[in-house]
Amino acid sequence: MSEKRPARVLSGVQPTGILHLGNYFGAIQQHIALQDEHPGEAYYFIANYHAMTTVHDGDTLRGYVHDVAITYLALGLDPSKAVLFRQSDVPEVLELAWMIATVTGMGLLQRAHSYKDKIQNGITPSAGLFYYPVLMGADILLYDGSLVPVGKDQLQHIEFAQDMATAFNHSYAGGETILRRPEPRLSKAPYVPGLDGRKMSKSYDNTIPLFLAGKRLRKLIGKVVTDSAELGQPLTIKDNTVYDLLKLFTDEEEMAAIGEHFRSGSRDGQPFGYGHAKQLLAAKIDAHFGEARERREHLVAHPEEVEAVLAEGAAKARTIARATLARCRAVCGLR
Ligand code: ADP
Ligand code: TRP
């Protein structure tokens, strides 16, 4: 296999909950942008096998998968440029994971930060959770992914996938490139704080879901934790969650003006406080996702359109998967 092929973007998203602003700025936005940089070569899958390490209810998992698909399509994933599919529609990935497992040291998996973090947080690990990085390596290597956009938390898993490709190629093929070495593409995306100021994450129950609007959105934004500055007093902008969230939706020029309102505690000669800042934030989020919300409503009413995209995606992905697996089976002596 030649390395001189076009770059192929590959990434996965876990269907473990309703997607939020952190997921959007940290991952989804970049995924969708990459479809224009690499048309026809951007592959995204909904990692339902992975989600089984935490979700043990079939209906819940199905629901999350459907919701992720709708969210990507509503936010602009274009099936004529990018391939969207369900991980489990290409079960070949499980066979490649096994092959890779045979050349992956236990020590490597024991060093996995995300695994260690989860144990430290009191989770009793299943063998599946320990094996997770192997499956993730297979996800990438099966599709010849060469560019893997991820957040910082996933960087180590990509390094593992690089080691796995090298180990496999050396062990089974004398160093010939059977599996292509992937490179991470770190999202430039900002760290998105949640309602309580910690990292926005469904594990902290501090998220702002992407498609909330109107009164319910305003009510939620009202819960963003702030200091207790009185109306009209200057507001510090350092480590200020409302300010940091506003920045995500505002260009530099307007943000400079908003920064002034914060620093002076006034706007157009009137006092400016957190109530105003939160109203502004809610209005910006509402407007930013307005079109996507409409597309989403359409897709919610037409699940067959979503299924058709996933089926077409799986067919494309499976063609690549089978070719990779045939190469691997041959060098492993399985046929
Ligand atoms: P959660 O923390 O809610 O479980 P995930 O771990 O499923 O979210 O996140 C999937 C991806 O979304 C991450 O790899 C990361 O790129 C991005 N992401 C999640 N939360 C944030 C955040 N608060 N800020 C920036 N990016 C985030
Ligand atoms: N582990 C990733 C996450 O939690 C999701 C994922 C699974 C993934 N397989 C992948 C990301 C392969 C990139 C490539 O966010």
- Which residue's CA lies nearest to atom 13 of ligand 1? 151
Q: Active-site residue among 4, 81, 116, 118?
A: 118
Q: Report d(CA 144, CA 124) in Å as an integer.
A: 33
Per-residue model confidence (pLDDT) at position 151: 85
Residue 150: burial class (beta carbons within 10 Å; 0-12, 13-18, 19+): buried
Beginning with the edge strand found earlier in the chain, give each strand of the sheet holding 183-186 in spatial order. 82-86, 42-46, 9-13, 147-150, 183-186
Q: Report d(CA 45, CA 69) in Å as an integer.
A: 9
Question: Residue 213 Cα, ligand 2 centroid: separation in angstroms?
Answer: 29
Q: Report d(CA 87, CA 13) in Å as an integer.
A: 10
- Among the bound ligands, the one closest to the CA of 141: 2
**Cβ–Cβ < 8 Å for 272, 264:** yes
Question: Residue 23 Cα, ligand 1 centroid: separation in angstroms?
Answer: 5
pTM: 0.95
Active site residue 4: no
- Among the bound ligands, the one closest to the CA of 187: 1
Active site residue 81: no
Question: Residue 22 Cα, ligand 1 centroid: separation in angstroms?
Answer: 5
Active site residue 118: yes
Per-residue model confidence (pLDDT) at position 3: 53
In the chain, where does DSSP find H-type helix?
21-23, 29-37, 48-51, 58-74, 92-101, 106-110, 113-120, 127-142, 155-173, 214-221, 241-248, 252-264, 274-288, 290-301, 303-332
Q: What are the domain boundaries of the chain?
A: 9-192+303-332, 212-288
Asked, colleague to colleague, whether 9-192+303-332 and 212-288 share their fold, the answer is: no
For 203, other C-beta atoms within 10 Å of its C-beta total 13
CATH ID of 212-288, from 3.40.50.10140, 1.20.120.420, 3.40.50.300, 1.10.240.10: 1.10.240.10
192 touches ligand 1 (CB under 6 Å): yes
202 touches ligand 1 (CB under 6 Å): yes
Task: Return all residues near 8 (Cβ < 8 A) that are at least 6 apart.
Answer: 38, 41, 42, 43, 143, 144, 145, 146, 147
99 touches ligand 1 (CB under 6 Å): no
How confident is the prediction along the chain (335 residues), in pLDDT tens digits per residue?
A: 545 788 999 999 999 999 999 999 989 999 999 999 999 999 999 999 999 999 999 999 999 999 999 999 999 999 999 999 999 999 999 999 999 999 999 999 999 999 999 999 898 999 999 999 999 999 999 999 999 999 888 999 999 999 999 999 999 999 999 999 999 998 777 789 999 999 999 989 999 999 999 999 999 999 999 999 999 999 999 999 999 999 999 999 999 999 999 999 999 999 999 999 999 999 999 999 999 999 999 999 999 999 999 999 999 999 999 999 999 999 999 98
- Among the bound ligands, the one closest to the CA of 46: 2
Domain 9-192+303-332 has CATH 3.40.640.10: no
Single out the residue of 161, 153, 218, 171 nearest to residue 23, CA to CA: 153
